[in-house]
Amino acid sequence: MTDLKIFNGRCQFCLGSAGNVRLIAGNSAFICEECVERCRTALRAAPADDKAKPSSDRYLHQRLAKHFAPLPPQELFATSRTYPLRQQADLQSALDELLGERLIPSNFVGIHQQFRHEALGFSKLLEQGHSAIEAAPAQYEDVAIGDGETVRCLKNGLWLPTDAHGAYAIVLVQKNDYHGGGDLVVEIAAPPGEVGAALCTRIFDALELRLSKGSCYRGRVLSLEQPYMPSGHSARICVHTLEPVAREEVILPEIILQAVERNVLKFAEQRQALRDLGLSTQKGLLFHGAPGTGKTHCIRYLAGALTGHTTFLITAEGAGLLPEYMALARLLQPALVVIEDADLIARNRSERDNACDEVMLNRLLNEMDGLRERADVFFILTTNRPETLEPALASRPGRIDQTIEFPLPDETHRRRLIALYAKTLPVAATLVDDLARRTDNASPAFIKELMRRIAQHHLEARSDGDVSAETAESALHEMLFSGGALNTRLLGGAGVDVD
């Protein structure tokens, strides 16, 4: 730069004019001598910590080279395992417990992953040139595990730990497919030889142990999300909160309720003794009866009473994920596997014209027959049409060990149902008796809806006393006549007395 005396110029920093200060000319602007000196002072005073990190930290292949020095990273060997995306919360907890606190950048760094559909393994991290992978801030997502709780899960990351046997590296990558699903890949890079092989085995064994024993989903009520395109794999685990059902709220003949409890609750208590005798601890039950007779209601009671059991809810549309359900049931056993409307999956072979349906049926039969290892699993299948079930399922011990019919309630049980579903609604005993008599052949579901309709009509009447007979009659008439015969059948009141 050249010193110039310019009378019509100004310093671009302090705006001093050429008449007052000496200016130094740049390509397109000026700076005065005083501002130059201020800049020199500021630069000399800058602490060393504020300087940018060396460019050698930018790429992961350079960090790996430093971590494993003097051994070249290309001489390491890598072992990987793939985990389904539904295990993300458990896998994150297991990795955190195993590897301890993540300290950026001393033992952990995020990975810049441009495309999640490509495999991003250890060999990819070693690439140089234009395809070199850069370090990046760690990316997280919150995964719900029920009861309002979430686990903060990494989408990817690179650990660079060192132990008594030397340095090693662990890569976590989330790989998405094109069908709404995905996998998690854990890869361990270690020095070649027996020490490195033993290290990989030890870490994976520790992960598997934590996944099987410390799952955050154990004891909860679960189903699997369906991907937006059929792929045979689930995306996430859905956690459900079922309203608890007490024993006195299960309105069934006592002999039937005792049969349910003996085959489920008491069987669970005796499992260890049965196992000691060399007997199977897997059991299958079939709940059948007309729609609305309380099969699902009873299952909610059992799910709450089976302490420590994980419950899986499988609908007909989720039958394609049956292998994944079974894998989870064995992992999180003891388990209760509920298959609603089983006749849609396991109807008689003679009625089938679809090869996919045949595959689903065979999978269900194999799982229930115990062709694989036995497990502490209850299978409860529900159906409104037991006559349509495949004979190989319904007639063979070891698949279905007990069938239990849920009948329509008699007058005594209808009276109990009316009292149960009335809640705090003021209903006189005489009206309860009249409704119990007139709802002959009605299902519990019909009675539950009837009491809600009566409550609505009572509120509309703005009455402060007991529900009147006229109010109850109006609600009953609406259910039986206003919606037509179809409405009556849908509500389970086809046999109700209208007089």
What is the CATH number assigned to the segment(s) 411-490? Answer: 1.10.8
Question: What's the pLDDT at 409?
Answer: 93
Nearest to 472 by CA among 442, 441, 436, 443: 436
The CA distance from 47 to 329, in Å, is 59
- Residue extent(s) of CATH 3.40.50.300 domains in the chain: 224-406
Is the per-residue pLDDT at 235 higher than 70? no
Question: What's the pLDDT at 4?
Answer: 45
More confidently predicted of 67 and 31: 67
Neighbours of 407 (CB within 10 A): 13
**Which pTM does this prediction carry?**
0.72
Least confident stretch, 236-245, 288-297, 375-384, 486-495? 486-495
Is the per-residue pLDDT at 53 higher than 50? no
The model's confidence at residue 11, banded by pLDDT at 50, 70 and 90, is confident
The CA distance from 298 to 380, in Å, is 11
Token duo for residue 313: 């809810």
* Strands across the sheet containing 23-25: 2-4, 23-25, 30-32
State whether CATH 3.40.50.300 applies to domain 224-406: yes
Mean pLDDT, all residues of the chain: 82
Question: What's the pLDDT at 408?
Answer: 93
Mean pLDDT over 427-448 rounds to: 91
Question: What's the pLDDT at 131?
Answer: 81
Is the per-residue pLDDT at 120 higher than 60? yes
Residue length of the chain:
499
Q: Is 449 exposed, middle or buried (0-12, 13-18, 19+ CB in 10 A)?
A: buried
- Residue extent(s) of CATH 3.30.530 domains in the chain: 57-213
DSSP string, 45-106: HS-GGGSPPPGGGSBHHHHHHHHHTTS-GGG-EEEEEEEEGGGHHHHHHHHHHHH----TTT
336 DSSP β-pair partners: 311, 378
Question: What's the pLDDT at 477?
Answer: 85
What is the β-pairing status of strands 140-146 and 402-406? unpaired
77 DSSP β-pair partners: 190
Q: Which of 353-357, 366-370, 393-397, 400-404 has the highest mean pLDDT?
A: 400-404
Is the per-residue pLDDT at 261 higher than 80? yes
Per-residue pLDDT of 396-422, as tens digits, reads: 666 788 899 999 999 999 999 999 999
Is the per-residue pLDDT at 29 higher than 70? yes
Is the per-residue pLDDT at 191 higher than 80? yes
Name the fold adopted by 57-213. Alpha-D-Glucose-1,6-Bisphosphate; Chain A, domain 4 (3.30.530)
